[in-house]
Amino acid sequence: MNRFGKSIDTPTSRRNVLRGSVLAGAAAVTGAGAFAMPRRAPLRTARADAASAHLHKVAEQMTAESDAKPADLSGYTRVRQELVAPPFAPEHEQVATGGPKIVEITMDTTERLMMVDEDTGASIWALTYNGSVPGPLIICHEGDMVELTLRNPADSMMEHNIDFHASTGALGGGGLTHVYPGEEVVLRWKATKAGCFTYHCAPGGAMIPYHVCHGMNGAIMVLPRDGLKDAAGNPLRYDSIAYFGEQDYYLPRDENGDYRFYEAAGDDYADSLDAMATLVPTHQVFNGAVGALTGDGALKAKVGETVLMVHNSCNVDSRPHLIGGHGDYVWETSFTDPPLTNMETWFVRGGCAAAAMYTFEQPGVYAYVNHNLIIAALKGATAHFVVDGQWNNDLMEQVVAPRPTEA
Ligand SMILES: [Cu+2]
């Protein structure tokens, strides 16, 4: 048994934990609560942890004791979606062909040391889906089923699960997907709401923000079967997707103000709770790290290209702005509502994902930022599009280059 108390030496602990019978505040249900708090007992989180444990217990009991009929899967076609790392999107149809699908996906709950800011050496033992922050973008259509195999590698330190905001029931699936290291689980749910939705790990109590603020969140886009439309019902199509995950980190510092380094995932638990309780992130970045989407990581586009910008922000409110461009069509909420149009800055509610469509009209570098510019410039929430093409002087022209002011 490692120091994170994997369940290997207590064979029944897994079910007992889910049923709450061995629950002791943060300890049992959240995994690390039991084993990663050498410096302080989890007194201040105990109530939240206990309440959370009760929710999970209810979720599991609801399905375990149910005599509901099996789902009717007739008429569905199985397809496999190969997930790809952000900022890219998996292959998909914008307009669904054929009948509804069962979209099979697999995600691994990978814990890995990630550099957050090379300039300061700030790093984090990120908790991830498939190794990336954010987790991969999943795409399906309204009426499809998503069938996820969630695998927790044997060398993980913690238990993980997943709460899909797009799904219905059992804490978004969170109550049915707890996997300890070395376990896997399969969850199937029907996508009944069209829009962009966040998903995240929610193992219980204080571990929920801990996992979310260590990168364990991402987005699923549920398209209308006939694709995106404007307010008049005319089809809207995109050429590419840029997938942003806005991530707030709360990295512990030592007495000198330097970022602490930890040997293993979870070692920072107690320190992280202190840092998170300030509600002031040390970093707020796109796609895992300061500068992940600038320089060599900048997004590429061409004049005339229509890009759908999918922005996930699991924990904090954000107000993205494309400097030099606009949101031609913006879906802050559902795809079944008409899109907002010609937006300068839009809103991504913390705990959700949103989409904005824009057709580039000028070449050059565009900055996609959280237009809280302090967050953009000092905390890291800046990405760049580098756009090739022909300049259009009708849209903008420098009439006089900088010169000494005339007397
Ligand atoms: Cu997790």
Per-residue model confidence as pLDDT tens digits over 368-401? 999 999 999 999 999 999 999 999 999 999 999 9
- Banded pLDDT at 37 (limits 50, 70, 90): very low
- Banded pLDDT at 15 (limits 50, 70, 90): very low
Given a contact cutoff of 8 angstroms between Cβ atoms, the answer to whether 272 and 210 are in contact is: yes
Given a contact cutoff of 8 angstroms between Cβ atoms, the answer to whether 198 and 312 are in contact is: yes
Between residues 67 and 240, the one the model is more confident about: 240
Q: Give the mean model confidence (pLDDT) for residues 343-358.
A: 98
DSSP notation for 110-152: EEEEEEEETTTTEEEEEEEETTBSSPPPEEEETT-EEEEEEE-
Whether residue 135 has pLDDT greater than 80: yes
Neighbours of ion ligand 1 (CB under 5 A): 127, 160, 201, 211, 216
The Cα-based distances of 12 to 25, 49, 53, 56, 137 in angstroms read 18, 21, 17, 17, 35
Query: Is 200 annotated as catalytic?
Result: yes
- Banded pLDDT at 46 (limits 50, 70, 90): low
pLDDT digits (tens, 9 = 90+) for 202-228: 999 999 999 999 999 999 999 999 999
| pLDDT for 406 | 87
The conformation of residue 94, written as its DSSP 8-state character, comes to S
Q: Give me 236's structure tokens.
A: 């809207």
- Catalytic member of 144, 147, 159, 163: 163
- Banded pLDDT at 50 (limits 50, 70, 90): low
- Catalytic member of 56, 178, 311, 321: 321
Q: Tell me how far the alpha carbon of residue 204 lies from the centroid of ligand 1, in angstroms.
A: 10
Question: pTM for the full model?
Answer: 0.88
Query: Is 178 annotated as catalytic?
Result: no
- Catalytic member of 60, 114, 142, 160: 160
User: In this prediction, what percent of the chain has a pLDDT beyond 70?
Assistant: 85
Provide the residue type at 304 as one letter: G
| pLDDT for 257 | 95
CA gap 248, 114 in Å, rounded:
14
Q: Give me 396's structure tokens.
A: 């903008």
Whether residue 366 has pLDDT greater than 50: yes
Whether residue 112 has pLDDT greater than 50: yes
Q: Give the mean model confidence (pLDDT) for residues 164-176.
A: 97
Query: Is 160 annotated as catalytic?
Result: yes
Q: Give me 29's structure tokens.
A: 């249900």
Whether residue 2 has pLDDT greater than 80: no
User: In this prediction, what percent of the chain has a pLDDT beyond 90?
Assistant: 83
Q: Tell me how far the alpha carbon of residue 166 lies from the centroid of ligand 1, in angstroms.
A: 18
Q: Tell me how far the alpha carbon of residue 230 lies from the centroid of ligand 1, in angstroms.
A: 37
Whether residue 341 has pLDDT greater than 90: yes
Query: Is 371 annotated as catalytic?
Result: yes
Q: Tell me how far the alpha carbon of residue 11 lies from the centroid of ligand 1, in angstroms.
A: 21
Q: Tell me how far the alpha carbon of residue 159 lies from the centroid of ligand 1, in angstroms.
A: 6
Given a contact cutoff of 8 angstroms between Cβ atoms, the answer to whether 197 and 164 are in contact is: yes
Q: Tell me how far the alpha carbon of residue 386 lies from the centroid of ligand 1, in angstroms.
A: 34
Neighbours of 398 (CB within 10 A): 7
Q: Give the mean model confidence (pLDDT) for residues 320-338.
A: 97
- Catalytic member of 56, 165, 283, 311: 165
Query: Is 54 annotated as catalytic?
Result: no
The Cα-based distances of 348 to 193, 236, 377, 397 in angstroms read 18, 21, 19, 33
- Banded pLDDT at 14 (limits 50, 70, 90): very low
